Chains A and B, each alone.
Chain A
């Protein structure tokens, strides 16, 4: 079955540590997105990519980095510069051509500080 796989499901970060969240999709979607969700709030866009080897900052990119070396993969690194990383992180993907389609979401990674 096609879908979006995020791993790990839970992640703990120590002070000064960088951590990487994985996002893989086998839907052959062009665009991929990373969102952050804080308790009781909506989703905020961190980074997005519409094509391999290219990506753009979203609304809250500071303290995060991404890469898009393959169409299927869009890992997110939460760097030590992100002082408040505790949140639920959601990856999404979307096909850009053809009829308008919704973004499809993975099951998320919950990140906490140790």
Chain B
């Protein structure tokens, strides 16, 4: 069965702190996507990771992919309130269909 699991499901962190969100998936894939969703809104594409060892950074967010471990991470550096949102990883099992993780709801407080 194709599964994508994220942890933690909920993350409350103080501004200025660092933290990592983990995304594990069950079967080999070399295409993984990270999205952001604000409450009641649509999904915004953050990163596309296409190969083992891929690392991408945008502002305070950095995503990486380890296809051998079937693991992607989204690292948050020096969190700010504007990063508060729900973050989803999604895996493409070579069918152009995505299997989404359950999401990590991030709340950043002063």
Contact surface of A with B, Cβ cutoff 8 Å = 31, 33, 35, 40-45, 48, 50, 58, 90, 92, 94, 96, 100-108
Contact = CB atoms under 8 A, between A and B. Distances in A.
Contacts of A103: 33, 45, 98
A101 B43 contact: no
A108 B42 contact: yes
A42 B100 contact: yes
Contacts of A48: 97
Given A90-B43, A107-B42, A45 B48 contact: no
Interface residues of B, number: 22
21 contacts: A31-B96, A33-B98, A35-B100, A41-B102, A41-B103, A42-B102, A43-B43, A43-B88, A43-B98, A44-B100, A45-B97, A45-B98, A50-B96, A100-B31, A100-B50, A100-B92, A102-B35, A102-B48, A105-B43, A106-B42, A108-B42
Contacts of A105: 42-44
A54 B104 CA distance: 34
A10 to B, nearest CB: 11
Contacts of B92: 100
A102 B45 contact: yes
Nearest to B10: A40
Contacts of A31: 96
Given A100-B31, A100-B50, A102-B33, A94 B96 contact: yes
